[in-house]
Amino acid sequence: MAFDDAIHDDAVLARNGAGRSRGRGARAARPAWLLAEIGVAGGLAALLLIFFWLDLRPDIESAPAHPFFWLKMAFTVSLGAAGFDGFARLLRGGPPAPTAIIVAVIAMLVFAVGGVTEALRLEPAMLARQFFPASIGSCLFNVVALALPTLLLSLTALRCMERERSALVGFSAGIFAGGLAASVYGLHCPHATFLFVGLWYGGGVLLCGLAGAAINRLTA
């Protein structure tokens, strides 16, 4: 009888342990699924803002035929993917994955090298156009504005999951939202130089990260 009781107790413990493991697995997977859903909703909101506020770029029909259109999108997507991965992992209690960060750093290095090369080759008038205050301000403002739906949804839905590293979580959320917004913004903005995209698209994504860190820290 004692032997049977021991077997029964072990079986109950095993089932409970398996249940807890499944529960932990479900909780670990939940942030990524929620973030994916938020990304879809935020991306659709950004697209609607493009259609009804900013309008599509005038060369939208021919732009996809040029390699830089996709290179620019790959740059912003890599930044957003690093933010997504870091955000999801931080919410699960772990550190950001080095792979996603490395990919984003490589993309930034490619645009940094390309930007420096362009700056050395561009005519003075063309180089000056990359630093027009109106163009810079418009780019930064529009990227942040397009990112707000994703950022606010992310912080509102998920901020209760991680309280100890609120600033880092908010920064990751902002990079995710900014990368997504900058990718959509390419449907409106016709700029096609490494220098402009690297500095001001990247700057817009960084601003989103800083905004996310500040918002999440203040509301934690």
Residue-wise pLDDT tens digits, 75-106: 999 999 999 998 888 888 777 678 888 999 99
| pLDDT value at residue 208 | 97
| pLDDT value at residue 219 | 80
Q: Mean pLDDT in the chain?
A: 85
| DSSP line for 174-187 | HHHHHHHHHHHHTT
Rounded distance between C-alpha atoms, residue 212 and residue 55, angstroms: 26
CA-based end-to-end distance of the chain: 54
> Residue 10: pLDDT above 60?
no
Check if the beta carbon of residue 208 is closer than 8 Å to that of residue 178: yes
Confidence of residue 161 (pLDDT cuts 50, 70, 90): low
> Residue 50: pLDDT above 90?
yes
For residue 5, what are its two tokens? Answer: 């009781």
In tens, the pLDDT along 169-215 reads: 899 999 999 999 999 999 999 999 999 999 999 999 999 999 999 99
